[in-house]
Amino acid sequence: MKAILWTQYGPPEVLQTAEIDKPVPKYNEVLIRICASTATAGDCEMRSLNFPLFLRIPLRMYAGIRRPKRITILGQELAGEIESVGKEVSLFKVGDRVFGATDPSMGGYAEYKCLPEESKEALLAIKPDNMCCEEAATIPVGGLEALHFLSMANISAAQKVLINGAGGSIGTYAVQLAKNLQAEVTAVDSEEKLEMLRSLGADHVIDYTTEEFTSSGETYDVIFDVVGNSSYTRCMKSLTKRGVYLLANPKISKMLRAALSSLTSRKKVIFGTGRRKRTDLVFLKELIEAGKLKTVIDRRYPLEQVAEAHRYVETGKKKGNVIITI
């Protein structure tokens, strides 16, 4: 089968097309013929190990000290059709069209991938009826991350929610999920993404290149910082007395300050990676089928052009999601 191998830590050029053996499912696995995957900021960070030192060292020890060995194919999410199943699989059958998130071995940039039918790390569910394969492939990472953080904030109707970095794969779902909770949503991103964010339901939009949202004097019940580039001090001042500050991509300095803030303030600071639960993936599917959640696709690249897709993602200009068609 054709796959894109991750050969070194470094720029997009380290992703190389190759022919490798087609995997065979184990007794509890399904073999998925992949029709679409995605290029995310997380894939790009993993490729180059563009992480803080405290994360970079354990990740290199896991993936491979000098070069990737345990993980050789990137790609965190996928959609496709089940081609064969292991003898003990009961949740899925041959021909089912599915979408999901891969386990730590990743592997979405290939024609086939084996995943367990049930796992704490990999998630699979039947694809939403009203989404094509490419659209469904964007849900598992961005959708689940957005759902995780907003659930932690316990948002109620009429609360004011600001999402910083709202135009990406996590942010576009966060805007819609917050609106489904009847919140008043302010979306922050670059000027070229603002109209798209309005179309997703954002009540207010802010162009971060011309206006600093923490300087307006406005306060919010929840600030969800997807990109992690805003001032910790100014964001805390922009929260209501019992406000919640959600950090999807925090630096270690912010994590340390969060511990102190919990001792000196009634405001909450929440960070960490999103949990992965199959019930949450099914919940997102139900929202999609009810017409309450949609995906935003910026560009599509064929499998052979994954490196080019990574280059585009790293410009920071993508609106929503970048698709890898297989």
User: Within this chain, do residues 32 and 125 fall inside the same structural domain, yes or no?
Assistant: yes
Q: How far is Cα 263 from Cα 206, in angstroms, rounded to an integer?
A: 32
User: Within this chain, do residues 44 and 91 fall inside the same structural domain, yes or no?
Assistant: yes
Q: How far is Cα 299 from Cα 316, in angstroms, rounded to an integer?
A: 13
Owning domain of residue 130: 2-138+295-325
Q: Within 10 Å of residue 7's Cβ, how many Cβ atoms?
A: 14
User: Within this chain, do residues 311 and 212 fall inside the same structural domain, yes or no?
Assistant: no
Classify residue 320: in a domain, yes or no.
yes
Classify residue 239: in a domain, yes or no.
yes
User: Within this chain, do residues 74 and 108 fall inside the same structural domain, yes or no?
Assistant: yes
Classify residue 282: in a domain, yes or no.
no
User: Within this chain, do residues 150 and 224 fall inside the same structural domain, yes or no?
Assistant: yes
In this prediction, residue 325 has a pLDDT band, given cuts at 50, 70 and 90, of very high
Number of domains present in the structure of the chain: 2
Q: How far is Cα 326 from Cα 161, in angstroms, rounded to an integer?
A: 37
Is the backbone of residue 205 left (phi > 0), alpha (psi -120 to 50) or beta? Answer: beta
CA distances from 94 to 31, 77, 81, 296 (A): 9, 20, 8, 29
Q: According to the model, what pLDDT value does residue 264 have?
A: 74
From the list 163, 164, 205, the residue with the least C-alpha distance to 197 is 205
Q: Which of 68-82, 260-274, 303-317 has the lowest mean pLDDT?
A: 260-274
pLDDT in tens, 73-121: 999 999 999 999 999 999 999 999 999 999 889 999 999 999 999 888 8
Tell me the CATH number at 197.
3.40.50.720
Classify residue 169: in a domain, yes or no.
yes
Classify residue 263: in a domain, yes or no.
yes
Tell me the CATH number at 80.
3.90.180.10
With 0-12 / 13-18 / 19 or more C-beta atoms within 10 angstroms meaning exposed / middle / buried, residue 198 is middle
Classify residue 81: in a domain, yes or no.
yes
User: Within this chain, do residues 23 and 118 fall inside the same structural domain, yes or no?
Assistant: yes
pLDDT in tens, 196-245: 999 999 999 999 999 999 988 899 999 999 988 888 889 999 999 999 99
Tell whether the model's pLDDT for residue 263 goes beyond 80: no
User: Within this chain, do residues 103 and 175 fall inside the same structural domain, yes or no?
Assistant: no
User: Within this chain, do residues 133 and 146 fall inside the same structural domain, yes or no?
Assistant: no
User: Within this chain, do residues 113 and 228 fall inside the same structural domain, yes or no?
Assistant: no
User: Within this chain, do residues 93 and 131 fall inside the same structural domain, yes or no?
Assistant: yes
